[in-house]
Chains A and B, each alone.
Chain A
């Protein structure tokens, strides 16, 4: 079957790869096959196609890595999926166990603008009912206040941003976006976490605990909820 007739399957793949690459770069084919419940041979075939379309870099026997284009699409679908789960759970009162299926369907049929409105309506939530972090939006904003004051037709960001909760010990990144409550935001900014500042991940406490960072020569421990809201890029 031609790829053109099944756009959802591209999105499903990119979503799966995106989810698996929280905290690391390269994903093994077998890992992806297991995660999606599909035969490794079909996965390999699909990955070659995704590589042709420029969504992934595929290295036989090594695995797969998202390109900038693939990351953006994967992030957008994952984000939409998790926002929908939160909506079904928090607003409509469904059980966390019952939200996944429907979110899977909604994630392919909704516009970007609706995503932004949904995110604002939910108060820029950081985690889905199952505890996974909602990725950052596509807008070129440094705080949620920027999003509230202007419309939905904003410039899109051109860099890959990841929450520092996904970064490994010893790595670093430049702050691009801090999500959420303006009180917390102001405290972070007073402590030197202004947009454009480079921060280093010194340590991560076990069991999804706080993250210790080095910023402007001082060491700070940030709880996992705050670490889920600070987004950095490599440069």
Chain B
């Protein structure tokens, strides 16, 4: 999707228009509701100063212009993460007319913790009680009206993936806009302190857009942002809070934020007690799938099985589709790069080659791969795999969740690097991205299959994959020891397994594929045209000579392969496509030894992230880390290539 910085004006409602925000925990169906309501009328942008994505959509409902913003999934409103900060800033700065708090009916207790904080923030809210069908299946009888009367806000039951209840939700959202409910109260001793603080805040000239009660509670919880603002504007107040807090902490023998959290949960327990009844239900097939995917032995086998199937499926389906598409496209445009014509012809050929490569490579390999992956993710199987391999991933300085971005990398590195945003720290994101750049994407798979498998046999191709895994593990292991900082422990929600929703799977695949089309296609086209022009102009010859100490001495390859690696920087599969032209013959085994073919395939697999990946890396991490990652790639490729070359020569 197109990423842009959101200007506040973009979200600003038009005259008489309504601004709705969707807020709630992660994975409760917010995006499903958002997509259902807005269809294709949406943009994705970053909140100023943060790398947090917000989706903004528009729709017309009963003659009203409505703007909907999908806020990030979070669990609390204390500013410990960027997502929490963005949600808070959005609600206070944009003042949405209504906040739809999406709540997962199957994990009601935990979800309502966030609801209470929204109420404390003074946001006008209605509750969307989603996944009612799953709750029903789990034997939960939820008295919707009871929850509504206790909290004093409308509660609308929905099944978002089927669109059930969403019309009522919109209607209620519009009818109840600007209506504020009273937040629940804490125990007497805490309320007494809140009261003291509120009167002090009212008297002080403290300038925040939050309600005084919210500021008071957040000060007691030690919220870093609020404490900062107060410390600057009214330092005496901070001292006062510390004294009051100490008194309570001594009484409870716990930090105050923990006391406040416990009391919120006590309020919720009361609601659950009155509004939810549990029936006994029979275990269904999903229960058994759940048990077996996390079984001590079968779980590991299944995890490995799914990952291998994912790759094999890509090979077979991808290869099959790719051949068909290539035949189709070759009728209208040249597929092979041609650098024999005039300069203009060469450039046009390059540009067309870039488009064709995009269509015949990215689409057939990446889409089936991402479809399968989206099914695994939406069903919840991926979470089980992350759970099973967390220990292994820790050796690489990552935790189990990082398996998703890395696996995505086997399709295309670009969306994989964007998806590292699911990881918590920059350190993890950089290590995961380095691992991603070393993983063979579909373009490199084509080179491995076209060189190693075609000329040396499938064993050679498989051994390249084995070498690759060993290298990713070794590099990850080393880097995680050099890179300062620690891997935070895994805290991951385990959702009920479910039958994947086609709509969600399709959306997810589309989103990832679009990020390839927007970023990779233009680079393919422009890059291919310019690099072919450079070749034509003879600029690459001196580079061949300059690179020959590496290509011929260290790797034992003909110096002409230098050109190949320059081309491969644009699109990895160009290495395969241009090999006959560079060597002057289609009979590759005539001019290259088996060792040389293997070395070219190995080096192509590792030597540098392609231009598109470099662009993605620099967008996410800036140039410094991008350059470091690229240098690591080059060093790894040269080291591995020369070791293999010398070893195979000795044999």
Contact = CB atoms under 8 A, between A and B. Distances in A.
B78 interface: yes
Nearest to B400: A210
A189 interface: yes
B296 interface: yes
B250 to A, nearest CB: 9
Nearest to B117: A190
B90 interface: no
Interface in A127-161: 140-143, 145-146, 149
B110 interface: yes
A205 B109 CA distance: 26
Nearest to B74: A190
A191 interface: yes
A146 B253 contact: yes
Interface string A172-210: 000000000001101111111011110000010111111
A102 B78 CA distance: 45
A16 interface: no
B622 to A, nearest CB: 24
Interface string A105-142: 00000000000000000000000000000000000111
A141 B253 contact: yes
A203 B257 CA distance: 29
Contacts of B444: none
Interface string B253-287: 11101100110010000001000000000000000
Given A192-B113, A216-B265, A223-B489, A142 B387 contact: no
A222 B253 contact: no
B24 to A, nearest CB: 14
A196 to B, nearest CB: 7
Interface in B274-311: 294, 296-297, 299-300
Given A142-B258, A145-B255, A220-B492, A210 B80 contact: no
A149 to B, nearest CB: 7
B249 interface: yes
A226 B253 contact: no
A90 interface: no
Interface in B77-111: 78, 80, 107-110
B296 A191 contact: no
B262 A195 contact: yes
Interface centre among A194, A196, A219, A222 (most CB of B within 10 A): A194
B490 A221 contact: yes
Contacts of B489: 184, 222-226
Given A205-B391, A209-B391, A212-B387, A217 B254 contact: no
A164 to B, nearest CB: 13
B257 A221 contact: no
A218 interface: yes
B537 interface: no
A210 B387 contact: yes
Interface residues of A, number: 39
Contact of B255 (A146, A192, A196, A224): A146
Contacts of B78: 186, 190
A186 B257 contact: yes
B80 A186 contact: yes
A210 B493 CA distance: 12
Contacts of B294: 203, 205, 212
A142 B249 CA distance: 11
B249 A224 contact: no
Interface in B362-419: 383, 386-388, 390-392, 394, 399-400
B75 interface: yes
B132 to A, nearest CB: 15
Interface string B468-491: 000000000000000000001111
A221 B401 CA distance: 11
A224 B493 contact: no
Interface string A72-114: 0000000000000000000000000000000000000000000
B113 to A, nearest CB: 7
Contacts of A206: 296-297, 299-300, 388, 391
B253 A224 contact: no
Nearest to A207: B391
A203 B246 CA distance: 39
Contact of B258 (A189, A216, A219, A221): A189
A189 B261 contact: yes
Nearest to B392: A207
A105 B414 CA distance: 56
Given A205-B391, A208-B391, A226 B491 contact: yes
B491 A191 contact: yes
B107 A217 contact: yes
Contacts of A216: 109-110, 265
Given A184-B488, A187-B80, A223-B491, A192 B109 contact: yes
A197 B257 CA distance: 15
Contacts of B255: 142-143, 145-146
A149 B245 CA distance: 12
Contacts of A188: 491
B355 to A, nearest CB: 44
Interface string A223-235: 1111000000000
B494 interface: yes
A143 to B, nearest CB: 6
Contacts of B110: 191-192, 216-218
Contacts of A205: 294, 296, 299, 387-388, 390-391
B80 A183 contact: yes
B599 interface: no
Contacts of A143: 254-255, 258
Interface centre among A197, A206, A209 (most CB of B within 10 A): A209
B107 A218 contact: yes
B254 A142 contact: yes
A188 B297 CA distance: 29
A197 B113 CA distance: 15
B395 to A, nearest CB: 11
Contacts of B392: 207
Interface centre among B107, B110, B246, B249 (most CB of A within 10 A): B110
B254 A210 contact: no
A188 B492 CA distance: 11
Nearest to B394: A223
B102 to A, nearest CB: 15
B76 interface: yes
B387 A190 contact: no
A187 B110 CA distance: 12
A13 B480 CA distance: 39
B75 A191 contact: yes
Given A209-B388, A226-B489, A190 B253 contact: no
A117 B387 CA distance: 36
6 contacts: A195-B258, A205-B296, A209-B390, A209-B391, A218-B110, A221-B493
Given A146-B254, A184-B491, A191-B75, 13 more contacts: A141-B253, A184-B488, A186-B78, A187-B80, A187-B491, A188-B491, A205-B294, A205-B299, A206-B299, A220-B493, A221-B494, A223-B400, A224-B489
In the A-B complex, the 4 residue pairs with the smallest Cβ-Cβ separation, listed nearest first, are A223-B490, A223-B489, A226-B489, A190-B76
Interface of B: 75-76, 78, 80, 107-110, 113, 246, 249, 253-255, 257-258, 261-262, 265, 272, 294, 296-297, 299-300, 383, 386-388, 390-392, 394, 399-400, 488-495
